[in-house]
Amino acid sequence: MRALKPLLLAGTCTLAISAQAAVPEQCQTVRFSDPGWTDINVTNALTTTVLKGLGYDTSIDLLSVPIGFKSLQNDDIDVFLGNWMPAQQKFADQYEGGYERLRANLKGAKFTLAVPDDVKEKAGVTSFADLDKHAEQFDHKIYGIEPGAPANNLIQKMIDNDDFGLGDWKLVESSEQGMLSQVSRAERRDQFVVFLAWEPHPMNLQHDLTYLSGGDDYFGPNYGGATIYTLTRNGYSDDCSNVGTLLDNLQFKLDMESQIMGRILNDGEEADEAARTYLKAHPEVLSAWLDGVTTVDGQPGLPAVKQDLGL
């Protein structure tokens, strides 16, 4: 029996080492990029919450979009969940070959001018061409976001060019919250207002909005439509196939992101806390995300993440 004990211990150690080696050591920390946008705060938080439940460590570097592309190329980060296309086409082309595009993780995003639904119902305002017909009611003003924002520049160019008859209109620059406060005031006072709007964002849950058509030359087709893709450094899914499977499975929804963004922007929650709250309330999303995904030590992923969330 004494001779068997070392053998049993050796066998136990071998099994433990084998379990720990289910995911290569270099894959046990997953490195993300974040350009500082609330929507990417949200998707990073959702993904890192799941990864932590699987036993991974994670890190997030705050990087501008071009630096993020460069970091993927240099293998300094592993994952970028915020490749907005076609808005980032310039950087996608510049760094072509320096990253891999896995899949679209969000479809149907948009960014253009909008009015409250009441304005559409009262005056039939549904397009850029309708605005100047009601210039007096709008007080000749378009509400934008912070000074220097590229979207504001597009609006100012539209005014400067007198497109849609808007040459005598004024761009009112403000913060995002300042702009949305103006929208709320206008709605309370039964006044007309036109402003920059985008989705995903909690404004779409707080206000009934009509996105205006006809601004393709400035904001792009489909209401400034965008598809957001998941990027990785080259070879990442081959090197770290378990995380690669998770990333291939990840697909977010507009209302999901808007709800979590609302908890961050309106309720002051940290992104990780807001993500955990959402996943605990909507555990059904985990089944698809964790299909074929294991923990770091090779155990089924779904029950481990649910246990970590207290479900």
Domains and CATH numbers, the chain: 27-99+233-308 (3.40.190.10), 110-223 (3.40.190.100)
Cα separation, 167 vs 158, in Å, equals 8
Answer whether residue 9 shows pLDDT above 80: no
Cα within 13 Å of Cα(118), Cβ side: 11
Q: What is the pLDDT of residue 147?
A: 86
The answer, as to whether pTM is greater than 0.85, is: no
C-alpha torsion sign, points 25, 26, 27, 32: positive
Answer whether residue 148 shows pLDDT above 90: no
- pLDDT tens for 198-230 read 999 999 999 999 999 999 999 999 999 999 999
Q: Average pLDDT of the chain?
A: 92
> What are φ and ψ of residue 144, in 5° steps?
-110, -165
If you write DSSP's letter for every residue of 118-170 in order, what string do you get?
A: HHHHHH---BGGGGGGGHHHHTTEEE--STT-HHHHHHHHHHHTTGGG-TT-E
Whether the Cβ atoms of residue 114 and residue 210 lie closer than 8 Å to each other: yes
pLDDT above 90: percentage of residues in the chain: 85
Dig out the tokens for 260 from the structure.
């979590």
Other Cβ atoms within 10 Å of 287 Cβ, number: 11
By the 10 Å C-beta count (0-12 exposed, 13-18 middle, 19+ buried), 304 is classed as buried
